[in-house]
Structure 1
Amino acid sequence: MSPHAVDSQTLGQTDPWNLSKFAVTKNAFLPEESQPNTLSDPYYESWELVAHNLAELIEARRIHDAINELPVLSTDLLKSEAEWRRAYVILAFFTHAYVWGGEKAEEILPASVAVPFLKVSAHLELPPVLTYAACNLWNWSCSGDDFSKLEDLSTLVTFTGTESEAWFMLVSVAIEATAAPIIHTMLRALDAVKTRDYEVIIKSLQELKVGIDNTSDLMERMYERCDPMEFYYKVRPFLAGSMNMEDAGLPNGVFYSEGDGKGEWRKIRGGSNAQSSLIQFYDAVLGIEHNGHSDSTKSFHDEIREYMPGPHGRFLVHVARSGSLRGLALETPVREEQHRLREAYTAAVDALTEFRGKHVKLVTRYIIIPSKKPWAGTTRRNLASSSSRKGGEGLMGTGGTELIPFLRQAKVETEVNKIESPENSEKS
């Protein structure tokens, strides 16, 4: 367990939020323990054999044969929630390896993967696709007790076996672990709004700012061991879903075969860091609203909650309905403590704005710039090749949105929540 985590026994005695109901652990949105690297029952040995050799099978162009040869296995022998999560990770990686692992995109997912994947996804309240949960939250183990220590983390399943891919995934794990105490701090702050306990709220907002700054610092460690060109051309294409991927070779999405001609065409968003519950939690407690468009009547940020584990999505809704700190910060300050609260609130908003600005820079370095450079390695028809033809214009994210406009809009929608002090307003 991370030393930043909150003791669960103490939490149960003092926290009225009933976090276990929302699968929020002492490590925030991460599980309480390192994830299993195998399913315990020998019945699933065929899955594990492919999962442990996935990168080699893709590289050798044997992944389609390997998956086509798999039997349609039952989910009845999965023994715990950790094993259900492990099965979800395995089948999500199988799905994307099958769709994107050849010379061109495969439009039909065989029943050997589709049938159990649909059952596992329904159990975990997630779509049958490689979500952030499959790629990051549940796809790691730790050799020590500090889940925020990148050097102690390792991935369980990868597409390429490269350090770039592992580092890309593990940076997010470390970010989630680092944020654990902030979750509980901010829930106490929301409770303190009811009693107008300004000192608790001010201290909480100050800690939130530090927590977001730490998140930003960890995100910038991406540059240490993740090569932009390798990420863009070798890793990122596997993360794409089937929504808005016409140019990449999926005009109808993917057909999830259930055998005997049965099945369904599905267009689903791929994995994206926008599916992290952590950043939406920051937005919720600060009262930051996003109105970004999606392909449905909901905003993208609302829709994306459906790509989070069901309990996590419900937790965010519960937090949002419980109010935010913004209303208190907007009150005209009269007492000194009200001025301090407004300053602490704006400092936290500034920190989140800066985080989103750094994310835009990261995307520029890892996606925009590589899309304009030639690649000497193998090129398949996928998200990378279709995006590169556009010369960096209108690039599609793995989640099926236009990348840069979405990120810039999220940054602007955060920044406008700053509250200028009366003194600064008069000067302007």
Structure 2
Amino acid sequence: MPNYLPQKSKRRMSNYVPLRLEDYDISPNNGFLPSEPPLQRLSDPYYEPWEHIMDRFNQYLLAHHIRRLVREMPVLDTSKLTSPAEFQRAFTILSFIAHAFVWGRNGAASEPASEFLPPSVSIPWVSAAEYLQLNPVVCCAAVCHWNWQILDPNAKDPMDIDNLGTLYTFSGSMDESWFYLVTTAMEAKSARGINAILDAIIGVEEDNPSRVTRALNEIAHSLRDANNLLERMYERCDPYVFYWKIREFLAGWENMAEAGLPYGVLYEGVDDTDTFSLDNWQSLIRRFRKYAGGSAAQTPLLQAFDIALGIKHYPTGEKGLQSSVDDARNRLQRRGVPEPPTANSYLVRMRDYMPGGHRRFLEDLASTCRIREYVLLACSDAFLQAGDEKDDRVVMRQAYNECVGLMKSFRDKHIMIVTRYIIAQAKNSPPSLVTSVAPVSSHIIPRSAHDQALARSSSTHPPGGRLGGDSLPADPTMYPQTNTTHASQPSSSSSAHIDRKNARLARKVDEGSVVRGTGGTDAIQFLKQVRNETANTKI
């Protein structure tokens, strides 16, 4: 059988060691989901204060008790957690508690989002996140990967979406459960595709186009399942309920000035927050953290398919960087390896919101997988234009292009969902649920000692507003976004303000304004560029 790889590639790949999913905490049967259903309770009674809140989580949130209960909760450590499954549960329930605390507002429309997260949550949450090697904020892993249960273990397909349930939701609604379960089922169904990616890599190693084609057909099967599941989002998740009742709880604290968190959130008890100087408010502001919220970009599944198919994504706003097929092939023939592209920084940064093993898998896959390069080199210009339909190289190219087409179709569907569930809803007036509200002071429970000291100390007021008070500087340009964990110092030159009492992520957006996703991006611009880059990958 002819070898389609240049000599340099053959030498480099001769030392290839096959990737094993188990080495990256990936299940051969469930993909990026755990092999077994997530725990439904931590066994050690030490953690009953957490479990007590989760036992009636929706009731407490509805009755406006979450902030009080969290402040009364003891500071527990994670030393008694004994397995990855226990750390996953701890991270998940602390994520729900933390976001309910920040965004829950105790049900008062006039109460702002909380800029402070008490030590009872922040300390163990950060500890669990460090063990799992991801950021302490709600993410796809928390609400989808580690938040499901099987309803009937004896079902023909236990992981079918109609046989799955969620453990927790913020709203207590079927809509929110369905929103999570579509992703959960997608992850389970796509395990077949993840295994096929590794098989395709071996096919490239063997210079076996037939094996590569079979693997690509398996990948296509998984992508068809993913497309079908995404289309089912409309069945049981209402756009109105999602936008106005669910979405805000999934937001993080990055690019959220318009939602009432211009500085981010301070994790009390972490990062030496007990030693800041009241004489210099900047010493405290620098310790605020800014994290993106839950986002589809945080699932390693889509990034794995992108890497496998050689789909490159570039910085948002940059166009025309995708090389032509001829240029890509010529470069490969000359050098044997592709030139590393400039990556989309948002997608790369979203890997910090994935468990460590999954992030490492993507990194190792990117350094190993050369499926697209193999197809490019195997198919000459003559075959690209008109080839023998029975030739194994032509069949392989067709299988590859089908996978790319299915990825584009998936992203088309995703854009449609974002348009219907977010963009269209943002153009409507908010629901009139509250006709009158009590003064803010009657709802706010005193914070920690140093928070109260801030409120009393005139020397700690940031320019343009009181930290922890009713208003804060509003201009998002005052807070330069960096790749660091913590917030940047705001500018002292602006006098712009926002009404933090009424600032919300779920709100009517002015015509022409940017509608941000929970990850903090310009949702439509980002998704359209990703979709177009996918389409341009076709050979």
State the TM-score, normalized to the length of structure 2. Answer: 0.72
Correspondence for 1:118 among 118, 126, 141: 126
Q: Which runs of 4+ in 1 moved over 6 A?
A: none
8 A contact 2:313–2:343 mirrored in 1 = no
Correspondence for 2:274 among 239, 248, 261: 261
8 A contact 1:292–1:301 mirrored in 2 = no
How many residue pairs match? The answer is 402
| Structure-2 change in CA distance of 1:89 and 1:408 (3 Å) | same
> 1:182-261 maps to which residues of 2 (within 5 A)?
182-258=193-269, 261=274
8 A contact 2:193–2:221 mirrored in 1 = no
8 A contact 1:291–1:300 mirrored in 2 = no
Correspondence for 1:383 among 489, 505, 508: 505
How far residue 261 of structure 1 moved from its aligned partner, in angstroms, is 2.1
Name the structure 1 match of 2:181.
Answer: 170
Name the structure 2 match of 1:144.
Answer: 152
How far residue 181 of structure 1 moved from its aligned partner, in angstroms, is 1.3
Correspondence for 1:398 among 515, 518, 522: 518
| Structure-2 change in CA distance of 1:404 and 1:48 (3 Å) | same
**Does 2:85 align with 1:82?**
yes
Correspondence for 1:343 among 390, 393, 398: 398
| Structure-2 change in CA distance of 1:85 and 1:323 (3 Å) | same
**Does 2:112 align with 1:109?**
no
8 A contact 2:95–2:137 mirrored in 1 = yes
Q: Secondary structure at the match of 2:288?
A: strand
CA distance in 2, matches of 1:286, 1:232: 33
How large is the Cα RMSD of the aligned pairs?
1.9
How far residue 287 of structure 1 moved from its aligned partner, in angstroms, is 0.6
CA distance in 2, matches of 1:142, 1:323: 34
CA distance in 1, matches of 2:414, 2:509: 24
Name the structure 2 match of 1:36.
Answer: 39
**Does 2:142 align with 1:134?**
yes
8 A contact 1:154–1:170 mirrored in 2 = yes
Q: Secondary structure at the match of 1:383?
A: coil
Between the two proteins, what is the percent identity of the paired residues? 40
Correspondence for 1:161 among 169, 172, 183: 172
* Structure number, greater radius of gyration: 2
Of 106-115 and 363-372, more deviation after overlay is shown by 363-372
CA distance in 2, matches of 1:414, 1:37: 39
Q: Secondary structure at the match of 1:399?
A: coil
**Does 2:419 align with 1:364?**
yes
Name the structure 2 match of 1:426.
Answer: none
After superposition, the C-alpha distances for 1:63-119 in whole angstroms (9 at most, x for unaligned) are 110111100011111121111000000111111111100032100000010011111
8 A contact 2:33–2:145 mirrored in 1 = yes
State the TM-score, normalized to the length of structure 1. Answer: 0.90
**Does 2:297 align with 1:274?**
yes
Q: Secondary structure at the match of 1:30?
A: coil
Name the structure 1 match of 2:469.
Answer: none
Name the structure 2 match of 1:10.
Answer: none
Name the structure 1 match of 2:363.
Answer: 317
CA distance in 2, matches of 1:107, 1:297: 32
Q: Which runs of 5+ in 1 are unaligned?
A: 1-14, 420-428
Letter of the 1:353 partner, please give it.
Answer: K
| Structure-2 change in CA distance of 1:192 and 1:297 (3 Å) | closer
Q: Secondary structure at the match of 1:261?
A: helix
How far residue 149 of structure 1 moved from its aligned partner, in angstroms, is 1.3
Correspondence for 1:290 among 313, 327, 341: 313
CA distance in 1, matches of 2:407, 2:344: 23
Correspondence for 1:61 among 56, 60, 64: 64
8 A contact 1:189–1:201 mirrored in 2 = yes
8 A contact 2:375–2:396 mirrored in 1 = yes
How far residue 392 of structure 1 moved from its aligned partner, in angstroms, is 7.0
Letter of the 1:46 partner, please give it.
Answer: P
CA distance in 2, matches of 1:40, 1:341: 51
Name the structure 2 match of 1:7.
Answer: none
How far residue 391 of structure 1 moved from its aligned partner, in angstroms, is 4.3
How far residue 207 of structure 1 moved from its aligned partner, in angstroms, is 2.0
Q: Secondary structure at the match of 1:266?
A: coil
Name the structure 2 match of 1:24.
Answer: 26
CA distance in 2, matches of 1:154, 1:210: 24
Letter of the 1:327 partner, please give it.
Answer: E
CA distance in 1, matches of 2:65, 2:143: 22
CA distance in 2, matches of 1:324, 1:158: 40
How far residue 218 of structure 1 moved from its aligned partner, in angstroms, is 0.3
CA distance in 1, matches of 2:152, 2:365: 32
Correspondence for 2:531 among 398, 411, 416: 411
More helix by share: 1
Letter of the 1:273 partner, please give it.
Answer: A
Q: Which runs of 5+ in 2 are unaligned?
A: 1-16, 106-110, 276-283, 318-341, 435-501
Letter of the 2:60 partner, please give it.
Answer: L
CA distance in 1, matches of 2:159, 2:198: 21
| Structure-2 change in CA distance of 1:114 and 1:394 (3 Å) | same
Letter of the 2:257 partner, please give it.
Answer: E
How far residue 412 of structure 1 moved from its aligned partner, in angstroms, is 0.5
| Structure-2 change in CA distance of 1:242 and 1:297 (3 Å) | farther
